[in-house]
C-alpha cells in the first residue's frame, strides 16, 4: 500500500484520491473506521469503534444496507472474531 501524503490544503488517500481538509472517509468492515484528513496535524485522524457519542454521524439516518462506519461498529463487534486493523 502506498504511503498517505498530506499537503498544504488536502490529503492524498492511499489509492491516489485527493481529499480536502476535514473530509471524512467512512470504511466498512472488517476495517470499520472513520478517517479524517487533518492538514494542520499533517495526518489522517482515525476513529474506530465504538464511535464517540457526540459524533454527528451517529445521529444520521442510514439505510438497512449501509454497513459503513459508525453503523458497522455494532455488526463488527458482534460478528467478527478477528481484530479491527
Does 62 reside within a domain? yes
Does 42 reside within a domain? yes
In total, how many domains does the chain have? 1
The pLDDT of residue 15: 78
Does 85 reside within a domain? no
Does 66 reside within a domain? yes
Give per-residue pLDDT as tens, 2-16.
Answer: 466 777 788 988 778
- Tell me the whole-structure pTM to 2 decimals: 0.69
Does 84 reside within a domain? no
15: domain range?
A: 5-79
The pLDDT of residue 61: 66
- DSSP 3-state of 64: coil
Does 58 reside within a domain? yes
Does 26 reside within a domain? yes
Give per-residue pLDDT as tens, 13-72.
Answer: 877 888 899 999 998 888 899 999 999 988 889 999 988 888 877 766 666 667 788 888
Give the distance from CA 73 to its chain's centroid. 11
The pLDDT of residue 3: 60
Residue 19 CA neighbour count, 13 Å, CB half: 23
Q: Which helix (H) or strand (E) holds 77?
A: helix 72-79
Amino acid at each position: 500500500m502506498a504511503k498517505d501524503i498530506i499537503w498544504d490544503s488536502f490529503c492524498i488517500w492511499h489509492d491516489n484520491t485527493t481529499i480536502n481538509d476535514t473530509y471524512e472517509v467512512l470504511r466498512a468492515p472488517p476495517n470499520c473506521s472513520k478517517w479524517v484528513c487533518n492538514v494542520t496535524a499533517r495526518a489522517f485522524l482515525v476513529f474506530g469503534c465504538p464511535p464517540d457519542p457526540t459524533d454527528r454521524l451517529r445521529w444520521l439516518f442510514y439505510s438497512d444496507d449501509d454497513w459503513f462506519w459508525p453503523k458497522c461498529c455494532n455488526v463488527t463487534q458482534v460478528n467478527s472474531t478477528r481484530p479491527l486493523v
